[in-house]
């Protein structure tokens, strides 16, 4: 299905403040589920929607939509975002040499990982972004997230919620060259609707769905890695992504969450002369929308293109780190 919303004003590249304020007012869900709400758009993902999603399992084929969590990942240290550091605490070598102190010959291996919670495939929680010092549902940012973490909308509040009908819109395949959109390509509501129309009935998007948008940028980054040039500017550089003007579409569609195969979800460079992630500023604190980033959609997209079925059961629970404003996830799509 497609979505009709009121006419969206043309962007004035010189006025991000005005555009953000207007979109936030048009798209606000504050108070929609009561003053104490901590789930935002996950309220749309009802028990009935989970049953609908489960019924989409036809062949039992499953796809992990997670990138790797290792030191060879895309992060470059921006704002202290580094790649995971994996260290062994006990090893097979220790077991062979009998230095672990266990009885009757038993040995084992153990390990630890240190990483920012948003260094690879992840969800942005509702405490991740603020709008003029205000968090989701009209709370003061300082009353939500302190040095102790997010005491109100911590990612653990979503731990049991994110499972239901997933839909993949392969915009890269529908509109791009060789399945990829160029860096800086702004995906508009019209592009989303055109992709739905091209993919057919199984690509309809509506209330409570978990929407995945493939741009093809990760595919391009992987070619660079294979060629020995590394990740390039995948983490934070120019990228295809959602246009700021899709805020009304995202609000009107009443989806539960949305994820892309890019570092930052929205188009980069952003569409204003001076701006940083303006769609985040509307989507998270005002719409209450969960955003996923750096998801690996390539294998799923190839399968969907092969059988012409673009919806599936999706389970994507974040790691419930108490008080975290984002968390790693290994999403599983089952067709």
Structure token pair of residue 271: 């569409």
For the whole model, what pTM was predicted? 0.95
Cα–Cα distance for residue pair 84/113, rounded to 1 Å: 7
Listed as ranges, residues in the chain with pLDDT below 50 are: 1-2, 4
Structure token pair of residue 59: 């062949």
Residue appearing with tokens 């109100």:
152
Cα–Cα distance for residue pair 316/68, rounded to 1 Å: 16
Q: In sequence order, which residues have a C-beta less than 8 Å from that of residue 281 and are 6 or more positions away?
A: 20, 24, 129, 131
| Closest C-alpha among 145, 118, 152, 110 to residue 292 | 118
Fold of the CATH domain 16-78+116-334: Glucose Oxidase; domain 1 (3.50.30)
- The confidence score (pLDDT) of residue 107 equals 96
Question: What is the three-state SS of the chain?
Answer: CCCCCCCCCCCCCCCHHHHHHHHHHHHCCCCCCCCCCCCHHHHHCCHHHHHHHHCCCCCCCEEECECCCCCCCCCCCHHHCCCCEEEEEECHHHHHCCCCCCCCCCCCCEEEEECCCCCCCEEECCCCCCECCEEHHHEEHHHHEECCEECCCCHHHHCCCCEEEEEEEEHHHHHCECCECCCCCEECHHHHHHHHHHHCHHHCCCCCCEEEEECCHHHHHHHHHHCCCCCCCCCCCCECEECHHHHHHHHHHCCCEEEECCCCCECECCCCCCCCCHHHHHHHHHHCCEEEECECCHHHHHHHHHHCCCEEEEECCCCCCCCCCEEECCCEEEC
Q: Are strands 210-214 and 257-260 parallel, antiparallel or unpaired?
A: parallel
Structure token pair of residue 142: 């300082």
| Closest C-alpha among 162, 177, 252, 157 to residue 212 | 162
The alpha carbon dihedral of 272, 282, 151, 324 has a sign of negative
- Determine the length of the chain: 335
- The confidence score (pLDDT) of residue 3 equals 52
Structural domain boundaries of the chain? 16-78+116-334, 86-114
| Closest C-alpha among 1, 28, 17 to residue 278 | 17
Cα–Cα distance for residue pair 49/51, rounded to 1 Å: 5
């Amino acid at each position: 299905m497609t979505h009709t919303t009121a006419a969206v004003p043309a962007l004035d590249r010189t006025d991000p403040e005005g555009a953000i304020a207007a979109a936030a007012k048009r798209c606000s869900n504050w108070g929609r589920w009561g003053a104490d709400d901590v789930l935002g758009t996950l309220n749309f993902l009802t028990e009935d929607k989970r049953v609908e999603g489960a019924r989409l399992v036809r062949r039992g084929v499953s796809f992990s939509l997670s990138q790797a969590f290792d030191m060879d990942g895309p992060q470059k240290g921006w704002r202290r975002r580094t790649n995971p550091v994996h260290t062994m605490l006990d090893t097979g070598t220790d077991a062979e040499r009998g230095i672990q102190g266990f009885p009757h010959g038993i040995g084992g291996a153990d390990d630890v990982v240190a990483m920012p919670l948003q260094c690879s495939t992840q969800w942005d929680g509702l405490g991740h972004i603020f709008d003029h010092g205000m968090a989701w549902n009209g709370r003061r940012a300082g009353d939500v997230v302190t040095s102790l973490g997010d005491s109100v909308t911590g990612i653990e509040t979503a731990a049991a919620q994110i499972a239901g009908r997933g839909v993949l819109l392969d915009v890269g395949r529908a509109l791009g060259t060789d399945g990829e959109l160029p860096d800086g390509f702004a995906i508009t509501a019209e592009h989303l609707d055109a992709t739905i129309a091209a993919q057919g009935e199984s690509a309809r998007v509506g209330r409570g769905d978990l929407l995945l948008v493939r741009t093809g940028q990760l595919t391009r980054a992987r070619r660079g890695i294979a060629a020995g040039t590394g990740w390039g500017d995948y983490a934070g550089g120019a990228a295809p992504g959602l246009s700021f003007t899709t805020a009304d579409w995202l609000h009107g569609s009443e989806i539960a969450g949305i994820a892309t195969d890019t570092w930052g979800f929205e188009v980069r460079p952003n569409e204003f002369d001076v701006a940083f992630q303006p769609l985040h500023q509307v989507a998270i604190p005002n719409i209450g929308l969960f955003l996923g980033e750096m998801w690996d959609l390539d294998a799923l997209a190839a399968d969907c293109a092969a059988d012409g079925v673009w919806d599936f059961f999706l389970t994507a629970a974040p790691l419930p780190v108490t008080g975290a404003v984002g968390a790693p996830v290994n999403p599983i799509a089952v067709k």
